[in-house]
Amino acid sequence: MHFGILGNAKIARTQVAPAIIEAGHQIHAIASRSQEQAQAFADMFGVARCYDSYEVLLADEQIEAVYIPLPNHLHVPWALKAIQAGKHVLCEKPIALDLADLHPLLDAVKHSDRVVMEAFMVCHHQQWQAIHDTILPAIGDVHAIHAMFSYANDDPANVRNVAEWGGGGLLDIGCYTVLAGLWSYGCEPLSVQSVMDIDPRFGTDRLTSALLDFGQGRVLNMTVSTQLAKYQRIVLMGRKGWAELDVPFNPAVEGTRIRMETGGELGTGLEVLLPAQNQYAAMVSAFVGHTESGKGWNNLQQSHALIQVLDKIRMKAHAPVQGVVL
């Protein structure tokens, strides 16, 4: 498949562009607002065409699909333009800022045969399939999930610290922790309680904690931060045992380790070792597979459920949701 890439984002250069090539596909063109940046990006991967206009890239008839790694507030506008140009769309998460932002895209896909995928690479990693197939049955009914994800970034020029562009920890990494709860429990939470610490310089949430009640005694406790030590962990607590993922969202290149105990005694557990996998390449392969089916496909139902929860977390914390001042 011939891909076009909109923007010069780091994740495009370091993860998704190499993944497109590893998955056996071609980067046909790259666009950036700066011709110099577009050319530098193109030179990294031997791409023949580079444009200083996103519109010109979308007009390139040889491009079949576009990858959108632009700042969060530009995801929906350019996804809509890509669909209108007849392209399949692989768009970075979060695909929208909130439910109001998502609705135009939901309407557009109803009338299109183009594939639209929110780029949650974690959904395509074998460790999550192993949890579904092996871990959850072994540890019994899960009633408590603890998820943490943090990194340190107080650079005012970084897009993650620009409030009007959809910056902040909840949208950037909180989406992963909430998705883990939705995926593990297979339903949406009944209620949400949350707190946020807003950075006075940026107006973005630098720490968000939430307790999500999924009913029947099942909860997700999540904390994310953009100004704490680099860390990530998920613990699943079941009636018969527990499982712990050391690096659930950015697995180590040497492979994945899942610790678990099912015997009821501390220190009697085991480790599940999974070989290394490029989850970005797996995501690209899944995306292309959907395009080859000959009919439109999207994972926006998952996006809708996720964004709805993120909106509730912000509102319960009395933090602004895009377009809404509390």
**Which residues are annotated as catalytic?**
93
Burial readout 111-123 (b: 16 or more C-beta within 10 A, e: otherwise): ebebbbbbbbbbb
Q: E strands within 75-217?
A: 88-92, 116-119, 142-152, 191-198, 205-215
C-alpha to C-alpha distance for 243 and 237, rounded to whole angstroms: 7
Annotate 9-50 with DSSP letters as a single string. -HHIIIIIHHHHHHTT-EEEEEE-SSHHHHHHHHHHHT-SEE
* Cβ-contact 278, 251 below 8 angstroms: no
Question: For residue 224, which of 161, 148, 311, 297 has the smallest C-alpha distance?
Answer: 148
Strands across the sheet containing 218-225 = 191-198, 205-215, 218-225, 142-152, 227-238, 242-245, 256-261, 270-274
Please name the residues in contact with 49: beta carbons below 8 A apart, sequence gap of 6 or more: 28, 29, 30, 42, 60
C-alpha to C-alpha distance for 150 and 226, rounded to whole angstroms: 6
| Amino acid type, 300 | L
- 81's enclosing H/E stretch is helix 75-84
Integer angstrom CA distances of residue 273 from 146, 197, 224, 243, 245: 21, 37, 26, 13, 11
C-alpha to C-alpha distance for 125 and 103, rounded to whole angstroms: 28
